[in-house]
Amino acid sequence: MKKVFLFEALRAAINEEMAQNNKVFVIGEDVGHYGGSYKVTKDLHTKYGDLRLLDTPIAENSFTGLAIGAAMTGLSPIIEGMNMSFLLLAFNQISNNVGMLMYTSGGNYHLPLVIRGPGGIGKQLGPEHSQRLEAYFQGIPGLRIVACSTPYNAKGLLKAAIRSQNPVIFFEHVLLYNLQDNVPDEDYTLPLDKAEIVRQGKDVTLLTYSRMRYNVLQATKTLIEDNYDPEIIDLISLKPLDINTIKKSIEKTHRVIIVEECMKTGGIGAELIAQINETSFDLLDAPPIRLSSQDIPTPYNGKLEQATIIQPQQIIETVKQLCKV
């Protein structure tokens, strides 16, 4: 085991998979000589060359299309969005090609393709760089969506995504790249469709993912001091949702709160509530609650930006209120 930053864990995953499989390559803006906007591909071009770390013009629709064609011919591209918000410019390629080609070709084509990069609300990055695209991509059939949250799961999940024969949207949070944790030296992968039980508890189930994992953990420290016993689940897989793990937790706690950075309307929390009501309605002692970001473009102003995001104190107050029911 060694302690590494999250961006280093992602780089190690890409490096190891490129070393093992010469069909894997990275494509995007500044992924080669510059090393990626958050240094995830730093120095890899010196090892693998410019054609496997392929720097592109600022043309997301074009280089996403190029990667799709490469995947159709048997290569395994990793598309990096310098900021995932920029990939809205490639939304047509992602929705009409990445999600559909295996089906519309009658299974003749597979797309072993990963679309990854930084997203989420940073620190005063403004609305265009602070979008939460998981809600945009959630409705596209044929896509798998994963959100990493620790260096350990970032490496294991990315390696699994690269090896997958199906397309994966891989979300990294812009504020988690400098997070440090221990990562095994040996080769490992993690399942792309399983949630992680971060903490066992009996009073309430807290469902979260990505950066909000840490706001939930911070709130939990206070809740434990006040004699509450929350169970924390990091969703990791946003599509499909690991509803079996969620249901087993609700069977124990009978209460559920969803904490997300996504917008409230049409977000991951909305889908979670729908599936919880379908599978676990009779297990609940109170209606599910979702704590989501405000339905507004993220402000540039720092205080207003913080006001749009769920803070630990809001989680503490909601848990205490729900546990009285």
8 in catalytic set: no
Buried b (16+ CB within 10 A) or exposed e, 244-262: ebbeebbeebbbbbbbbbb
Distance of CA 251 to the CA centre of its chain: 26
Cβ atoms of 11 and 154 within 8 Å: the answer is no
Contacts of residues 133-136 at CB distance under 8 Å and 24 or more positions apart, as own/partner, are: 133/84, 133/85, 133/87, 133/88, 133/171, 134/169, 134/171, 134/238, 134/262, 134/267, 134/268, 135/262, 135/263, 135/266, 135/267, 135/268, 136/88, 136/91
Q: What angle do CA 154, 235, 225 make, to 5 degrees?
A: 100
Peptide bond into 230 cis (omega under 30): no
* Catalytic residue from among 8, 29, 60, 172: 60
* Catalytic residue from among 8, 29, 80, 129: 129
How far is residue 280's CA from residue 273's CA, in Å, rounded to a whole number?
Answer: 10
261 in catalytic set: no
Cβ atoms of 305 and 293 within 8 Å: the answer is no
AA letter at 183: V
How far is residue 105's CA from residue 301's CA, in Å, rounded to a whole number?
Answer: 48
How long, in residues, is the chain?
325
What is the set of active-site residues? 60, 129
